[in-house]
Every structure is written in structure tokens, then in C-alpha cells.
Amino acid sequence: MPTALRVLNPATEELVATVPAATPADVDAAVVRAAAAQTAWAAAAPADRARLLRRFASAVDAHTEELALLEVREAGHTIGNARWEAGNVRDLLDYAAGGVERLNGRQIPVPGGLDLTILEPLGVVGVIAPWNFPLPIAAWATAPALAAGNAVVLKPAEATPLTALRLAELALEAGLPEHLLQVLPGEGPVAGNALVEHPGIAKIVFTGSTRVGRRIMAKAADRVKRLTLELGGKSPNIVFADADIEAAAAAAPMAFLDNSGQDCCARTRILVQRSAYDRFLALLTPAVEEIAVGDPMDERTQMGPLISRAQLDRVRSYVPEGAGAIVGKAPEGPGFWYPPTVLTGVPEDAPCAVEEIFGPVAVVLPFEDEADAIRLANATEYGLSGSLWTRDVGRALRASRAVRAGNLSVNSHSSVRYWTPFGGFRQSGLGRELGPDALTAFTETKNVFISTEGPAL
């Protein structure tokens, strides 16, 4: 068991920091502390909780550039993306704070009395965050969980603990109670497993691979522990012949290259109606070749490195030798670089066409008609996101109903907004994050009946 985690800069392979790795004993102690802090936090007036969360948002706002620079160094994100991510944390905290005083129960008509529902916090929530978007995804669970009156123990990914640690420091500086938000860097099989199995953890929120998500779900079953799972994806980008082909081709590269393709929503399966296929490829080729890949600190850079050597090797393993490809440029030398790549002429059931690669690689597959497009779109085990390009409103609505995915965009590639729900179908996950119902996902509903026909109260 390592005593420390090594954080490397993915663009240079230089050591950024070493961070102590949490043990199961550390997890146990943190959960005990969190339970004590949560009791007082849940008892605080809603207005006071909301005020402190807004102060937390202000503290994040004041340190946006610092957080962004940390994200660049530990995750290899472009500076523009990293600034957006820090701002997203700020905005989400503000949004969650607005829900504290609106976390309402209901009054349900019943004979012989009054029936009320009360939304109560779960207790201590365990959050296991990924390395691909370490800062915003940690906040997706943490902000609403805190707003609903819970405490949070957050385990960041081994490769990217620095922004989470700084976020916890900012929470304390903003005045949140000590131990309400604790960050425990550590290995998944050690600290993560201890968090999942701990009897004091009421709910686990996990973002990561479907393979690991299945294991967490099985472990949580022993205690009927609540779960939100945001897992893998292999999202389709469906381009019908009646679409604005120029716009669809121009938008396609960054739909799978954002964050170097390390995005569960990446549109890595580009499905193009056969009558528009050649024209689309002719437009897509220069769009891919012109993507600026390089120094994440350069404002002009559109794509940075992969997170690690292991991830680089994984991506390479999915690209068949001799396959037709459109290939962009990438730096040589130190760093975990892979060029933007679009594969053509591969079978529709090839591993690169149906499995999540989690890198800057997409496939283009032709389809015949609307029914064939839907068949191809649904021909994976995943169902997280996707895009539809068409000028036909009826087709857009039909296809949106038929594609088995939790988040779809028409004539765009937008998937995630903090004020709308996010989550997947099938092997892409369980539950929903973000949106107007985010806080209720961290509560229990208690029903109370008060008789009006019995003795006077």
C-alpha cells in the first residue's frame, strides 16, 4: 500500500506534488468526524446554511485562477477549459444555496387529518470523483449534498487530488463548519473501498468506469446503501442528410476532442446518412487536421494531453492497424500526447466502434435511413448522451424519443448544465445529478399523518 500519491503534469511528465494516501483507518476517523459535524449543520437555520454556501461560492470566485492553474498542472486541461471548470464550481454552489430554503415537502389530502412530507438529510455522503473533470464533478455531488444538510467525505482520483484539497481549504476559509467537507486522497481499492463499505456512509456518489461502478453497486447492496452512478458512454453524433452539413462537420471535432476525448459524453460515434457521407468526410478532414494540440497554458490550444501513460497505451490499443483514418497533429517528446483521430471503414461492431476508448478517437459509420440510424445509435451497452443534426423538427422529436440516452442535443453538442438534470440510461449509470431536483437526491422523504379526529393536541 503506497504511503503517498505522485501527481504528474500530463503535459511534461514532471512531478507536481506528492500527497499522503488515506488508509481505511483514516476513512473511519473522517466518517466519525463528519457525522458529528453533520448533526449541527442539519440543525442550522436554512438561511444560515444558504449564506455559508454563498460565501463558499465567493471564496471559489476569488480563487478561480488559482484553481484553474492547479487543474492545468494536475489534469492537463487547457487553461480556457480549466477557468470554465472553476467558474462552474462557483455557479453550482450559488445554485445549490438557492435551493436550501426551497427544499419543500408536500401536504397531501387525506381523510381524517393532515398528511405532510418532510425532506430530511441522509447524513454523511461519500463522493468518489474522477480524474477527467476532477474539480467540477466533485462539486456536482458536494454542493447539493451540503445544501440538503449532509456532510461530505470526498475521495478524489489518485492522479488529481490537488483541486479537491484546495476546495476543502476554501470551504473552511468561507466559514463552513470543520469536518463538514473532508477530502481523503487515496487509492480506489483502499480508501475508495473503505468509503463504500463504511456503515456510517449513507450514500455513495461515484463517477467513473462502468466496470468499477458495477463493483461499487454490488458492495453497496450489502447495506442497501443509496447510490448515484455516472458511468461510461459511447455517444452517437447522428447527422441526417437534410442537416446543415457544414455546421455539423465543423462542430464534430470538438464534440469528441474536448478534454482530449476524456469525457463520458464525447460524441465518438459519428453516424452519417449515406447520401451525405462523402461530403461530410470532405468537410470533416480539414476541421480535424486544424485542431490546435499543445501546451495547455497557451490560450490558443484546443486540446491537451491524456492524463497518463496508461491511458495513452489504452487509447493506442483501440486503433486498428491499417484502418482508414483522418489524423491531426500532436506534440512529440515528453507528455502523454495522442493526435486527434477519426477512423473510417471499420465494422460497426468493432471494439473501437462500440467500446468506450476515453481518448481523442472517433469512428464514422454510414447509415441508410432514420430506422437504421436509431439502430446504430442504440447498438452499445451505454446510454449517456448524443446529438442529432436535422432540419426536420418531427424527425428531431422522433429520434430524441427513440435514442436510449439520458441527455440529447439537437443541432448542437451541449450536454451538461448545472441547472438541468444529467445522467444515463442502461450501463451509463443510475440516478440523476444537477438540475432543480439535485438536492432531493440527498434526502429521505418522511411521511407524517396528523389526525384531526382524535384527542386535541
Residues serving a catalytic function are 230, 264
- Cβ contact 31:198 at 8 Å: yes
Task: Report which of 94, 162, 172 is spatially closest to residue 129, judged by C-alpha positions.
Answer: 162
DSSP state of 403: S
Burial 31-63 (b: 16+ CB within 10 A, else e): bebbbebbeebbeeeeeebbebbbbbbebbbeb
Cα–Cα distance, 366 to 372 (Å, whole number): 9
Please give the grid coordinates belonging to residue 339: 493526435
30: burial class by Cβ within 10 Å (0-12, 13-18, 19+)?
A: buried
Paired residues of 343 in beta bridges: 325, 363
DSSP codes joined into one string, 205-237: EEES-HHHHHHHHHHHHTTT-EEEEE-----EE
Paired residues of 113 in beta bridges: 110, 451
For the sheet with 269-273, list strands across it: 324-327, 341-344, 361-367, 269-273, 236-239, 385-389, 407-410
